[in-house]
Amino acid sequence: MTLRSLIAGTGGYLPDTVLDNDALAERYGLDTSDAWIQERTGIRQRHLAAPGQMASDLGAFAAREALEQAGIDAGAVDGIIVATATPDAVFPSTAARLQAKLGITQGFAFDVAAACTGFVYALSVADAMIRAGQARCVLVVGAEVFSRLMDWTDRGTCVLFGDGAGAVLLRAAEAAEAGDRGVLSCHLHADGRHGDILQVEGTPGLLRMAGRDVFRHAVSKLAAVVDEALAANNLSTSDVAWLVPHQANLRIIDAMGRKLGLPAERVVVAVDRHANTSAASIPLALAEAARDGRINRGDLVLMEAIGGGLTWGAALARF
C-alpha cells in the first residue's frame, strides 16, 4: 500500500501586541526609521508575545485552527512535531507541552531544531513517518518567540524578527485517494562550517548575524535547492502555482520569485506584517494564503527556507 501525506488543514496565530517600525525605534532608542527598515527589509511591523507567553501557547492557537479547518478531532492525532529555536524549556519538549494543551494523550511529541529551516525539516520528518506507516495524522507546528533572543540595541538584527506560530495537519491517504495531491518531496541540507554567521551566543543568549554573508548564501543555496526539488519531480518553474518562502527579507523573496519567473502576485509575502518569525514563517504565510482563498485545491506550492546552521531546504506539495 502506497501512502502519501495530504495537507488536511492549516492554521496560524500572531500575538496581540503589534509594534511598527517607528514605535520600535522609539521604544528602544534606536538610530533608525521606518523608511530605513522598509527599504532594506520590506518590514513594516512585527508581533510580540506577551510576558509569560511561550512558544507552546502560540502553537496551540495555530494547531487548533488547523484541526478545525481539517474537521479532525484532536483525538485522531498520532503525533506532534514542533519546529522551534525558542523552546519553552530545555525539556520537556515544546511539542509535549503543546500536546498537553491540546488535550492529546496518545502518540509521540518531539521538537526539531533547524532555526529558520525548521518547518521544512519537521514537514520532511512527518511526511516520512506517514509514508512508512508509522503515523496517519501528524501536526507539524512552527512556533517562535524570537523577541526573547533580541539585542534591542542592535538595529541590524532587532528590527528583523517577530513572534508567531503556524501549523499544518498532515493525514495519510492511499494513492487512489490522493491522486497527484499531497507532499511530493522534501530536500534538506546543512553546512556547519558557516554556523557562526547566524547564531545565538552568550548568556543570556542573544542573536548575532552577519547579514551580508547570510544574504549571499541565501540566494545561491535557495536557488540550488529549488532546482533540486523541481528536478526530483520532473517539474519546471512553470508548474509552480505559488511560492511560499521563508519570510526573512523582501529582497531575498523577490530574488527567488524572479528566479522562478513568477509574477509578484504568485508569491506569498507576509514579511511586511509579520517580520521574520523563523520556523513559523512558512506555515503562517501558508495558512494566511489558504484562509483568504489564494491557495486552492490542486495548486502546486513550493516552500523554501534557509537558517542558522547553516541549514536550508525546500518542499513541494500539491493542495
User: Is residue 276 flagged as an active site residue?
Assistant: yes
pLDDT in tens, the chain (319 residues): 799 999 999 999 999 999 999 999 999 999 999 999 999 999 999 999 999 999 999 999 999 999 999 999 999 999 999 999 999 999 999 999 999 999 999 999 999 999 999 999 999 999 999 999 999 999 999 999 999 999 999 999 999 999 999 999 999 999 888 889 999 999 999 999 999 999 998 767 899 999 999 999 998 999 999 999 999 999 999 999 999 999 999 999 999 999 888 899 999 999 999 999 999 999 999 999 999 999 999 999 999 999 999 999 999 999 9
Cα 21 from Cα 228, distance rounded (Å): 37
Answer whether the bond into residue 260 is a cis peptide, omega within 30°.
no
| Class of the CATH-defined domain 182-318 | alpha beta
**Whole-number pLDDT of residue 162:** 98
pLDDT digits (tens, 9 = 90+) for 9-18: 999 999 999 9
According to DSSP, the β-strands at 137-145 and 45-48 are: unpaired
pLDDT of residue 202: 74
Q: What per-residue confidence (pLDDT) applies to 176?
A: 81
Residue of 21, 116, 158, 187 marked catalytic: 116
pLDDT one-digit tens code per residue, 45-69: 999 999 999 999 999 999 999 999 9
Here the cell at position 20 is 511598527
Do 3-178 and 182-318 come out as alike in CATH topology? yes
Q: What is the CA radius of gyration of the chain?
A: 18
- Catalytic-residue membership of 47: no
pLDDT of the residue at 201: 83
Chain position carrying cell 489558504:
290
> Active site residue: 186, 246, 249, 274, which one?
246
Residue 176, Cβ neighbours under 10 Å: how many? 8
Domain boundaries, the chain: 3-178, 182-318
Q: Is residue 116 annotated as a catalytic residue, yes or no?
A: yes
Element (H, E) at 278: none
Contact 189, 221 (CB under 8 A): yes
Does domain 3-178 fall into CATH 3.40.47.10? yes
